[in-house]
Amino acid sequence: MTVLTSAIENNFVVITRNDASYNNFREFLEYIKTTKQKINYGTNGLQSMLWSEKLIQLAGSIDAQAIEYKGEKEVLIDIMNGILEFGIFGTSGSAQLVNEKRLKYIAIGGNKTDPKWPNVELISNYVSIKMTGFQLIVGPKGMSDETIIWLNKILTIALNSPETKDNLENRGNIVVAENLDLSRKLDKEHFTDRRNLFLEFSQKINK
């Protein structure tokens, strides 16, 4: 495949039901350490699975089970219904449910707090990983440089248009569409790194 542009980034968050007894990450860790109930948590991909396992490791030896789902929506529904204790995803699919007080965030990834969620503490206070995700727009393999540049220009303009950008950012995303100049080695390396990371994740998920 050919990477045409990076599109959006978002911070991943630890999500639980709104009526959970804990209200921050410290209380969450204490709860899963001391509860006598089995901890079930949902994942729908490599990143959410790895970060969930990392959080479970912080709690030490506890009875926990990961349940793998095909989609984020199904995980969020089961969190709200009390079937799952928590999940780790980006904010774009859950922000509305948090605003409706059906779910709540107890920790957020990235290097700084999100102005939309100023009271949600950073996961980096507890674990040394940057919990962020990104999405790329890709095309078929073997596209010409001229086609890549043309599509990149159009996509970058579209993603950075006020209407599109406001819509995406209101859902917790950061628009990171970039103009690509294939004559510059830096841009080639930048997009190659993103493509390789994307392919690496894809290969692991598909195994």
Which of the four pLDDT bands, split at 50, 70 and 90, describes residue 207? very low
The residues, ordered by sequence, that sit 6+ positions from 154 with a Cβ below 8 Å of its Cβ are none
Residue 187 has pLDDT above 50, yes or no: no
Compute the CA torsion angle 138, 141, 146, 147 (nearest 10 deg). -50
Which of the four pLDDT bands, split at 50, 70 and 90, describes residue 20? very high
Higher pLDDT, 171 or 189: 171
Q: Residue 100's pLDDT is what?
A: 93
Q: Is the pTM of this model over 0.85?
A: no
Mean pLDDT of 158-168: 85
Q: Is 128 helix (H, G, I), strand (E, B) or coil?
A: coil
Report percent pLDDT > 90 for the chain. 14
Which of the four pLDDT bands, split at 50, 70 and 90, describes residue 137? confident
For the ranges 16-20, 47-51, 105-109, 175-179, the lowest mean pLDDT is seen at: 47-51
Mean pLDDT of the chain: 77
Q: Residue 59's pLDDT is what?
A: 66
CB–CB of 85/15 below 8 Å?
Answer: no
The conformation of residue 125, written as its DSSP 8-state character, comes to G
Residue 16 has pLDDT above 90, yes or no: yes
The residues, ordered by sequence, that sit 6+ positions from 106 with a Cβ below 8 Å of its Cβ are 13, 14, 15, 16, 20, 22, 23, 24, 25, 27, 28, 86, 120, 121
Q: Round to whole Å and give the CA distance between 67 and 50.
A: 13
Which of the four pLDDT bands, split at 50, 70 and 90, describes residue 204? very low
pLDDT in tens, 58-105: 766 677 888 888 888 899 999 999 999 988 887 778 888 999 999 999
Mean pLDDT of 170-178: 72
pLDDT in tens, 31-50: 888 888 888 888 877 666 76
Alpha helices (H) in the chain, listed in sequence order: 25-34, 46-58, 72-80, 95-99, 145-159, 162-170, 185-206
Q: Residue 185's pLDDT is what?
A: 43
